[in-house]
Chains A and B, each alone.
Chain A
């Protein structure tokens, strides 16, 4: 089973709202990722967690706050977003980000619209 789940599927929020995106995997993977994808563009890496510790932050604005409560869960807390943050947010996981050979498996994404 290579399933990564994400909730919610769709989210509409105002610029003053606080919301959270959730991601879950039960493959025993120890690396989890957040990506942002705009229309007709490839995914852009935002954050990487390895063994529940933040290992990469791609200079993402502080209005995005990641959290990894345990090895199966990954959250992305959103606050004071801008309309240009509207995008498809993708979660991915892999066995270990430093493994010689590994593959990232993606979830279905959360479509976010900021009004």
Chain B
């Protein structure tokens, strides 16, 4: 069974304090690992898709990386507007029709 575990559950940082969020996964043949950002009461906003180990993608202050067992979302010099819940999800070969989500990391950036 495909599984995703995100850590930490919650993270509080000062503005400008860089850090990383972790997404550990077990999947029967990875067909994609997805990062989403979700603001309270709103739908998840797509950030990145990663397909193979060693792949990296960047967008503004965010950088996502992928290994065979985990993915990291690095946040460089965050701003208060980066505060949100960050969701990680995977698609595997056997469960190709479904996304399996982690529980999310609630990130708070204090000014």
Contacts and interface: CB of A to CB of B under 8 A. Distances in A.
Contacts, number: 56
A39 to B, nearest CB: 9
A75 interface: no
B31 interface: yes
B72 to A, nearest CB: 19
B96 A43 contact: no
Contact of A106 (B41, B46, B96): B46
Contacts of B34: 103-104
A101 B97 contact: no
Contacts of B103: 41-42
B49 A103 contact: yes
Interface in B15-72: 31-32, 34, 36, 41-46, 49, 51
Given A42-B103, A42-B104, A55-B97, A101 B51 contact: yes
A107 B102 CA distance: 19
Interface in A46-70: 48, 55-56
Nearest to A10: B41
B87 interface: yes
B71 to A, nearest CB: 15
B31 A109 contact: no
Contacts of B51: 101
